Homo-oligomer: A and B are copies of this chain.
């Protein structure tokens, strides 16, 4: 916090602070290794109150980062939750001090496989395999530095929800509430399978070079693009894709209206959309980070960490919980949230659980779902 180089700016009337925090001690990881020199890049929005009781930690999803409510420095697009975080918004920056940190293993400033190891070269695949709990450990170190003993709430969607669960379970004194959206307490075989396809696509790309691509130009862009395309399908509902694209054909650059070309160009709009999603992703994401973060998600099994009983995970927690699922989310369907709610009930914890109706599939947590706004707003104000 004392670093004079940190940036403070007023963006859209949000007091935004971007900084990087260097841990003073090595981080002990689940794999057994100690990671030295860990840095956490983060943003804060709003003002920490004098008794430091108004902090809300936003945990981000797989491909997101600390730019939750400010323009993304690479894409120039709004932050991933700009619609929900700000003055008067559900995560109200006039009321809360919002912290959003790039995860350990990420590629937007926090220590990850692209960071330099002691020998001056990028870790690449020498980076330790991390877990969701390791990501949370780095966040706890950040909270320690900020002097925040107890969060008002931890909030996250998708992988962010996994982190929120992990924080509430493993650091029960550190949060008064946990809001978990479109998440799961463990990755299913199908979840793992989709991630494995993505990893194999990256590793199959000869430009991946066993992970040592940093000194060789752009890296495995084609493989990463295919990985993103495959994953992207899982973020959307079948009906949502049909509504948005159906079998509509792409208009041609030469002005001809959509028609089958009897070739392998992107005839269908959905093909063009997916290709664009894949290519755009490679501009802002590191392929090795994608490997490591998907691995952390696949390893996540909160019950397994606590003797095989999910209810045990929450034994020490005094937090209020809120679980939100979406009826069209087939990546982490409602049954996953319901199971967490049942376990919290079994552990005698305070929990509310709601399935919202939204057409967009898993990505609903990032999109315009007014009912979600009301749930967030109401839960945080309790």
Contact B226 A189 (CB under 8 A): no
- The interface-forming segment of A35-43, A198-206, A362-370 is A198-206
Q: Looking at chain A, what size class is its interface with the partner chain?
A: 35 or more
Contact A201 B226 (CB under 8 A): yes
- Identify which of residues 185-214 in chain A touch chain B, using a CB-to-CB cut-off of 8 Å: 186-190, 192-194, 196-197, 199-201, 203-206
CB distance from A174 to the nearest CB of B (A): 25
Contact B242 A274 (CB under 8 A): no
A285 to B247, CA, bound (A): 28
Contact B247 A189 (CB under 8 A): yes
Q: For the complex, is A173 an interface residue (Cβ under 8 Å from B)?
A: no
Q: For the complex, is A229 an interface residue (Cβ under 8 Å from B)?
A: yes
Which chain B residue has the least Cβ–Cβ distance from A278? B200
CB distance from A282 to the nearest CB of B (A): 12
Contact B189 A244 (CB under 8 A): yes
Contact check: which of B233, B241, B263 meets A129 at CB < 8 Å? Answer: B263
A171 cross-chain contacts in B, Cβ below 8 A: none
- Given A31-B262, A189-B247, 20 more contacts at CB 8 Å? A125-B264, A129-B264, A188-B241, A189-B241, A189-B242, A189-B244, A192-B247, A192-B271, A193-B233, A193-B241, A194-B233, A196-B270, A200-B222, A200-B226, A200-B229, A200-B275, A204-B205, A247-B304, A260-B299, A264-B291
Contact A192 B268 (CB under 8 A): yes
CB distance from A19 to the nearest CB of B (A): 30
Contact B188 A204 (CB under 8 A): no
Contact A128 B226 (CB under 8 A): no
Which chain B residue has the least Cβ–Cβ distance from A292? B264
A209-251 toward B: CB 8 Å interface, digit per residue (1/0)?
A: 0000000000000110110011001001010011011110000
Q: For the complex, is A295 an interface residue (Cβ under 8 Å from B)?
A: yes
A186 to B248, CA, bound (A): 12
Contact check: which of B199, B204, B270 meets A223 at CB < 8 Å? Answer: B204
Contact check: which of B129, B186, B223, B274 meets A193 at CB < 8 Å? Answer: B274
A149 cross-chain contacts in B, Cβ below 8 A: none
A190 cross-chain contacts in B, Cβ below 8 A: 233, 236, 238, 241-242
A235 to B98, CA, bound (A): 43
Contact A298 B268 (CB under 8 A): yes
Contact B225 A128 (CB under 8 A): no
Q: For the complex, is A301 an interface residue (Cβ under 8 Å from B)?
A: yes
Contact B247 A187 (CB under 8 A): yes
Contact check: which of B32, B189, B264, B274 meets A246 at CB < 8 Å? Answer: B189
Contact A270 B192 (CB under 8 A): yes
A29 to B197, CA, bound (A): 35
Which chain B residue has the least Cβ–Cβ distance from A263? B129
CB distance from A363 to the nearest CB of B (A): 14
A53 to B299, CA, bound (A): 58
Contact B241 A222 (CB under 8 A): no
Interchain residue pairs with CB less than 8 A apart (27): A31-B262, A128-B262, A186-B247, A188-B238, A188-B241, A188-B247, A189-B245, A190-B236, A190-B238, A192-B271, A194-B233, A196-B268, A196-B274, A196-B275, A197-B229, A197-B230, A197-B233, A197-B274, A200-B278, A201-B204, A204-B205, A204-B223, A230-B230, A238-B330, A247-B304, A260-B299, A268-B298
The 3 closest A-B pairs by CB, nearest first: A204-B222, A31-B262, A189-B241
